[in-house]
């Protein structure tokens, strides 16, 4: 299992959930996903995600959407 945190302030790239086979780690994380593009007025958001995939998150692809992977924890 991999737990990682992404941060951004624009439109959340929902397709990345499918692409990285991940989901919000908690209901609080799910609620913090911006539903619209609020731009800088919405402020920076952090969302912790969990993946049971063997692959690490695709940081370059997250970055291409304006969201950065800021923490990765791999667990057995």
Digit-coded pLDDT (tens) for 26-72: 999 999 886 665 555 567 889 999 999 888 999 999 999 999 999 99
Rounded alpha-carbon distances, angstroms, from residue 16 to 4, 34, 41, 61, 76: 13, 14, 23, 8, 23
3-state secondary structure of 14: coil
Domain residues for 26? 2-74
> With bands split at pLDDT 50, 70 and 90, how would you rate the model's confidence at 13?
very high
For all residues of the chain together, what is the average pLDDT? Answer: 89
Structure tokens at 37: 């593009």
Rounded alpha-carbon distances, angstroms, from residue 72 to 1, 3, 14, 20, 51: 11, 6, 19, 13, 11
| Domains contained in the chain, number | 1
Query: What is the distance, to the nearest Å, from the Cα of residue 66 to the centroid of all Cα atoms in its chain?
Result: 11
> With bands split at pLDDT 50, 70 and 90, how would you rate the model's confidence at 11?
confident
Reported pTM: 0.86
């Amino acid at each position: 299992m991999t737990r990682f945190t992404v941060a951004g302030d624009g439109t959340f790239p929902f397709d990345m959930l499918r692409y990285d086979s991940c989901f919000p780690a908690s209901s609080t994380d799910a609620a913090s996903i911006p539903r619209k593009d609020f731009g800088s007025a919405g402020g920076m958001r952090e969302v912790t995600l969990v993946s049971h995939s063997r692959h690490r998150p695709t940081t370059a692809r997250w970055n291409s959407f304006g969201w950065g992977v800021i923490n990765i924890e791999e667990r057995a």
